[in-house]
Amino acid sequence: MTNWTPQQNNAIYASGTNLLVSAGAGSGKTAVLSERVVQKIAQGASVERFLIVTFTNAAAAEMRARISAKLADLSESNPGDRHLRAQTARINTAEICTIDAFCAGLVRENFETLGIERDFSVLDTPDAQVLQHEALANVLEPRYDARSSAFTRLIELLSGAKNTQAFEKTVQELYSYIMVQADPLKWLQQMCVLYDPENESGPERWCEILQRDYEGGLQYACNMYASIRASLTPDDCMFDGYSALIEREEALLKKLQAQLGSLAACRDLVQNFSMESMPRSPKGYISPVKAALSAVRKFVRENILNAPYLQIDLQQAREDMDYLYPCVCELYEIVRDYSAELLRLKKEQNAYEFSDIAQFALSLVADFSGETPRKTAFARELSEKYDEILVDEYQDTNRAQDFLFTCISNGHNLFVVGDVKQSIYGFRLAMPEIFVDRLNSYFDYDPNEPVSSRIYLNKNFRSRDDICRYTNFLFSKIFSPQVGGLAYDRNEYLNAGAVYPPAKSACISLRVVRDDASAAEDKTENEAQAVADFILEKISGGMTVSDKSSPAGVRPIEFGDFAVLFRKGKGTIEKFAKVFAENGIPVAAENAQPLFKTREVMLLLSLLRTVDNPTNDIAVLSVLMSGIFGFSADDIARLKVQGGAVRKNLYTLLLAQRDHEKVKRFLDFIDKYRNLAVAVSCSELIIQIMQDTLFIALMASAGEYENSRMNLMKFVDLAARYDYGDTRGLSSFLHYIDRILASDAVKSASGDGGSNAVRLMTVHKSKGLEFPFVILAGTASRYNQQDTVKRVLIHPSAGLGMQCLNESLRCRYNTLAYDAVKKEMEKDAMSENVRVLYVALTRAKESFAAFMTLKDPEGALEKFAGKISFADGRIDPYLCQSAGSDSALLLMTALFHPAAAALCTQPPHLPEIPDFQMDVKIVSAQPLPQQEAAAGVSRPDPGMLAQLTERFAFQCDRSLSKIAAKRNASELDRVSGDLEFYFTEKPDFAQAPGKAGTLGGTAMHLFMQYCDYKAAAADLDGEVQRLHRENKLTQEEVRLLDLEALRAFFASSLASRILQSSCCRRECRLLSFQPVSVVENMDSDQKILVQGIADCIFEESGALVLVDFKTDRVKEASQLSAHYSRQMAFYKTAAEKQFGLPVKEVILYSFSLCYGCKIEI
């Protein structure tokens, strides 16, 4: 039984009111959410009375699996409870889905009310872009013809006379932005009204933003002066000079604070003040406060005396509004017309984007016709349908989604879970302020107070204690309501709940890489080399990680335990992968290669194009010469010659040669699948082709099995999604593929260097994952500020920021609105930057390291030390806001730790000593040694000369040229010397209905490779679902598993022996050189490299037991023994050589027969 924490217990059992659960990283929120539903059902609720909403299909599937498994366990424990049995049986009817799926379902059920067709489809990105371009052209064309003054001015402002692309992009971006608002056009209208010269609310709002920013700068400067003054002691020979300087400048700051509401008064104070020079110190003396005082005075000069707030000219602002208001009104009308025209085109296509579907759903439950929106009668009816509405990842909702859930709730049954610190999807228009507003307006949970309540889950069950301590140390200093969105207080602290063996060294490392690369070198590759050195040092240095399956509780760290994360992956990941490969480090990296350019998908597409149109010579040629049909270039040339002088397509030539065995096989294939293509969906057709051609196995034969399999499954999923919205057949599907080929929008699966490989990925891709050792690389890269330099800026509360055009000088300048909106966008961007850093750090289970490349590491440390020297243990929000990179935040906070402070000549004041170890070093990358060219020609070495002479005299035995230098052990039991490929199983079409022979066998082997034997023996279904959640098994592979055969195995004596073994190796790669005479029955002393992978080798009584799992359909065990004896003999010999122990037993376990047979070798 799970031991829930008190906070988790409250989140599970609290009822009667709206609840918000703020769940920190690794706090078990998914387990809590699923347990809450299960407990309510156990108390009499029905699964149909819940709406459970997640943000991804994978999360929805995991949630359903968790609830289903828990209900099944409860039902089994209470066999007499009919209610539990009924609810367990009905779990598949529960509404557990994504927001998009919920909205789509709501819209389909009420299509008549909305005036649309029920069988609409969802637009893919390329199709949506086509309609967007068409709609925009339809809206703009008459305006280009009319050329009104407002339209002409708008074009000049946003683009220029010759190129209107920037203007058109602005219209589309503004449309996308308003579509996540609760009432899109009303929101845009309200933002445009701010530019009305008769309306004072616009300038007031924008002035307030700049004033608030100025106030933050004043407060930071005052705090710094006060801290420096308190630290200045009379025995400092600069005491008098510095004291007078500080007093004078502090006085100005306090006057500015007092007059903050009067812009004119503040401007007068600054204009009548001049900064004096710093008093000169005696020769050779440096005051302890000098660096800090210099830093704060520089800040005052740049950000107080020359602040944007002081540059405000209200008269100019009103003139700018007069100039811009007609343009803003014109922009509103264009977006309004574009929205209507785009919707009209989508209705014609009967296809919509998810944002349209969400707006349709919202219009069903909300009435926006009045001054304030109201719930509709349908919304009230819908709110009675649900006992509770549970929404996960609420920090990533937008206004439209938030209002939708508010409308369908009854006012006290909304249960939302999220963590604003992990909201990193601003580019998808997520609005974390919605979660923060709810968090701040709710009360701490009290079971006796039926008010909207908040519960904090802050016990972390993922990370080692030092990771949690460092997380708290770092983010308590930089998070604030201004930066990050909330104060990082005790409610947000991570409290370690996971148990780990004591660490032998510091779990937190910072590496500052000195940028001493020459112009010809690349600093990214330089840093990659430093990271490679670091990983190899940990591998070779005997570092261990926790492993509960090991008797010692730990095991040596492996490459697969490392994940290297990046803010941006494009270009950077490729360079790291290159350097890692040069250092012999296996890599599993995000692959930027488009899905349709991968070898396996290109061939599968050629197969489909051949089935669709056999006269497509390019497709037919690639299929004929593939491993499926095995035509050679000579075969194709022979066909052409026999076809005569008349030019004919390949298909016509093949029809004339139908008697040829290869040709007949190809034509039979075409005939079969052309008939099948008109009877089944595209996804079913693809699956059938893959099964009949052993496609996955064929592609995997060239290596990277997992990568090929995932790419093919991704292609099947794409076809399944297409089938969902379109039933026009194979030709239509191929046209659909052609449309998205140009965009390269669909990416392939990660390039996989095997399970024991260093993962390279972006922080965004890592969200939801965890790794023993996380390395955050490239932290010195500057934050992306591109969104704040556009000609139109958009912010949910500040509105639209537009530049003005000086028509006489023909140049643009920033307006009051533009500066204010830009300031708010910069603040929001910085908040997301620190949240990305939080997500990166909290992926780590046991160790975390950050790398940064700086030109002058020592100088950077001194500069940061000066800025924080006399801080109170926190980094001021204003200072955080000005940090341009992760490295700035990491180094400023690290200086509050002795490990980093020791690297400074003037270390900052440490208010307290942190309770964790940190390893901070300045390093230089050590490039791989290059072979230097010889300066001259040396005399030949006699020994080498003799060897070369002997080798050049060697005469090759031509009879061996047909023998492969490397063979797989699985080939040893074939007829000697015959290189034809024989199938060991029935083809899939001969299997029993619902079974897929080869794919089913593959699924069984994958399960046995990845499963936890103990967990599978205890709860097979639970272990299957875990592997599916972790993407080790696809949904199709889960379906193909023979669960009864697996249960029989785990109940067998063989499984019991394996579980009792002190050492069990799975998927063990075995290599051995075997004489040609043994492998091929040829008289030769040459040797062949034979390789194979043994499914399982375990130790027992000082010897080895070798187990191989077989899925062949056989009637007797003797058939397996006869067929696999030579393969097992090789495994036995190779295992004894490789592990230095005798193999006492060789067992072939048949899943078909459900028992293992011992082979005598």
Per the annotation, binding residues are 23-30
Residue given tokens 């008769």 in the structure block: 198
**Cα–Cα distance, 440 to 433 (Å, whole number):** 10
Maximum separation of any 2 CA atoms in the chain, in Å: 107
901 to 688, 866, 886, 1065: CA distances (angstroms): 65, 12, 18, 46
3-state secondary structure at position 1074: strand
Q: Which two tokens stand for residue 702?
A: 């060239």
- Report residue 556: phi and psi, to 5°: -65, 145
Handedness of CA 568, 571, 572, 578 (dihedral sign): positive
Kindly provide the b/e burial profile for residues 399-421, where b requires at least 16 CB atoms within 10 angstroms of the residue's own CB.
Answer: bbbbbbbbbbbbeebbbbbbbbb
**Cα–Cα distance, 967 to 1126 (Å, whole number):** 13
3-state secondary structure at position 1048: helix
Q: 1021-1029 long-range CB contacts below 8 Å, 24 or more apart?
A: 1021/69, 1021/72, 1022/69, 1025/62, 1025/65, 1025/66, 1025/69, 1028/61, 1028/65, 1029/58, 1029/61, 1029/62, 1029/65
Could you give the angle at which helices 682-692 and 730-741 cross, rounded to 10 degrees?
90
Closest to 837 measured CA to CA, from 900, 912, 887: 887
What would the DSSP string read from start to end of 325-394? HHHHHHHHHHHHHHHHHHHHHHHHHTEE-HHHHHHHHHHHHEE-SSSS-EE-HHHHHHHTT-SEEEESSG
H or E stretch covering 805: strand 804-806
**Cα–Cα distance, 201 to 195 (Å, whole number):** 9
Q: Which two tokens stand for residue 362?
A: 């919202």
Binding residues for ATP: 23-30
- Contact of 901 with 907, CB cutoff 8 Å: yes
CB-CB neighbours of 363 under 10 Å: 16
Closest to 751 measured CA to CA, from 695, 696, 705, 717: 705
Q: Which two tokens stand for residue 303?
A: 């950000």
| Opening angle at CA 218, ends 215 and 220, nearest 5 | 110
Closest to 776 measured CA to CA, from 787, 790, 789, 760: 760
- Contact of 25 with 420, CB cutoff 8 Å: no
- CA–chain centroid gap for 336, Å, is 35
- CA–chain centroid gap for 762, Å, is 6
